[in-house]
Structure 1
Amino acid sequence: MASVIELGGRVAVVTGGTRGVGAGITRALLEAGAEVVVCARRPPETPVRAGGRTARFLPLDLRDDADAVTGFFQRVRRECGRLDVLVNNAGGTPYRMLDEGGAQRHARVVELNLLAPLTASLAAYEVMREQPGGGSIVMIGSVSGSRPSPGSAAYGAAKAGLDQLARTMAVEWAPLVRVNTLVLGMVRTELARLHYGDEEGVAAVGRTVPLGRLADPAEVGDACAFLASDRASYITGASLLVHGGGERPAFLDAATANH
């Protein structure tokens, strides 16, 4: 990470920050000098470390009642002294077509990917609003929220809502708290091979991206550290695309195949 990103003396919370994209974000914040608290339902097998420091783990199920989430953020403030950054990273979905599983299962996906970040942001705001300098909230969105998302429709709808939620928070909570969204494309995590098969499958999927590969979690982390830092002090209500150029339009491949 470039040395211009400086988060020394800041306290950050990364939800779901123990693996995958979340761990990449956690490492980037640690490398930038922040004290990082990660939360998830279960502790990581190996603590997340970078920059000579280790992220602190505190258990939390974000789908618990709001009082539990509020208590978590009050504990962070009490034990760390402040809260400067919240990264709403926890989320995800199984592959499930709309006519499979029933409405209740789809609702659980919306709960995790939209309502849980809302609850966490409200609790974090109560801490940030009371301290000099306010704070920064970063939502981890997805390109699934801006295009059809077959097999993950509820997830795509939730991510679309999350982006809109962030824009409104940015207006309501200015100037003390900045709120932005990282809109992610495909990222090469430990689960990539489960989704795309073997290494050849991962590489084939990567070739559909204009930059020719999936993102690395560290690259997502660098973008997140930037939005959390003073280098982004005039950026709020923004959606930063981190998707390698997006997806090559299918009609181009079809046209090529016919020549």
Structure 2
Amino acid sequence: MEWNGKVVVVTGGTRGIGAGIARAFAKAGARVVVCARHAPEAPLDGVEFTPADLRDPIAVHDLFAALPRLDVLVNNVGGTPYRLLAQTDAERHARVIELNLLAPLTASLAAYDLLRRARGSIVMIGSVSGTRPSPGSAAYGAAKAGLDNLARSMAVEWAPDVRVNTLVVGMVRTEQAHLHYGGEDAIAAVSRTVPLERLAEPSDIGEAAVFLASGAAAYISGASLLVHGGGERPAFLDAATANKANHEETGES
């Protein structure tokens, strides 16, 4: 009953993680609006679609001006192709930062008055790429690191009216996972590097977003919630030999 009559906007919510988040809020009972440049390939049950380019401030302003109220904004829009720093010009890297950092800032500013009136919540969708080196997606990692810091500053400036938190997301099995990791054998091999031995499902991220926006998290703001299955096993543990030798000599299990 907590979500009856509540309005949730999920940016970039037409596929992958965003669609998982939208479905989770719809299942909880909220009115969910997703926005992106292109409509979803198949309708999402209980979810409304509004076309909008999140990089266009006027379009973003119009999107929120048309809403009667807003209780939750999920800044999910983002992504990047594989681009080594020295093999791509600065303008292309800047576009990645624009999409992953400036677009969430633009949406948050446009949504602020509605969220303040509803004493609502913002959930930023961050990434483990923003917490460690991110070769091949350095601009993306830098943008996600900036997004986490932006969320912490928003949480202070906009308190007590608006709570702001970040989901720091690890590897997720979306419909495009094969483009990042390869076929099923490659995905299985990557999954074994995760302590929980699987990639996240979009629904895992959705349920975490619902939690952060819910009354159960009413005293949580300015926080970063890691949703990465336990993280990444450090490579040196498999490369080192000393502990393996001691383990074999002692017969410890």
**Equivalent-residue separation in structure 1 for 2:36 and 2:198 (angstroms):** 29
Which string of whole-angstrom CA distances, capped at 9 and with x for unpartnered residues, describes residues 161-180 of structure 1? 00000000000000010000
Q: For 1:128-139, what aligned pairs fall within 5 Å after superposition?
A: 128-129=115-116, 131=117, 133-139=118-124
For residues 84 and 256 of structure 1, the distance between their equivalents in structure 2, rounded to whole angstroms, comes to: 53
What does residue 181 of structure 1 align with?
A: 166
Corresponding position: 1:34 with 2:25: no
1:65-111 superposed Cα distances (whole Å, 9 cap, x missing partner): x22211111112xxxx2100000001000001000120000000000
Paired residue for 2:89?
102
Matched, 1:141 2:129: no
Deviation at 1:256, TM superposition (A): 5.2
Answer yes or no: is 1:115 the counterpart of 2:102. Answer: yes
1:31, 1:56 → 2: CA distance? 13
Radius of gyration: which is bigger? Answer: 2
How far apart are 1:126 and its partner, in Å? 2.1
CA-based RMSD? 1.3
The structural deviation recorded for 1:252 is 0.4
Amino acid across the alignment from 2:109? L
Q: 1:228, 1:74 → 2: CA distance?
A: 22
1:46 maps to 2:56: no
Instruction: Give the letter aligned to residue 90 of structure 2.
Output: A
Partner of 1:19: 15
Q: How many Å apart are 1:255 and its aligned residue? A: 1.7
Q: Equivalent residue of 2:24, what SS?
A: helix
- With normalisation by structure 2, the TM-score equals 0.94
Q: Give the CA deviation at 1:151.
A: 0.1
**Matched position secondary structure for 1:9:** coil
Q: State the AA in 1 paired with 2:95.
A: R
CA offsets, 1:143-186, max 9 Å, x none?
00010000000000000000000000000000010000000000
List runs of 5+ in structure 1 lacking aligned partners: none
Distance 1:128 1:156 in 2: 28
The equivalent residue for 1:60 is: 52
Separation in 2, partners of 1:186, 1:6: 30
Runs of 4+ aligned structure 1 residues displaced above 4 Å come to 256-259
Instruction: Evaluate the alpha carbon distance shift between residue 60 and residue 151 of structure 1 in structure 2; reply closer, same or farther with a 3 A threshold.
Output: same
* Local SS of the residue matching 2:152: helix
Letter aligned with residue 221 of structure 1 = G
Q: What TM-score, normalized to structure 1?
A: 0.92
Mapped to 1, the partners of 2:76 and 2:241 lie a distance apart of: 38
Counterpart amino acid of residue 88 in structure 2: G
Structure 2 residue ranges without an equivalent (≥5): 246-253
Q: Give the corresponding residue for 1:153.
A: 138
Structure 1 match to 2:248 = none
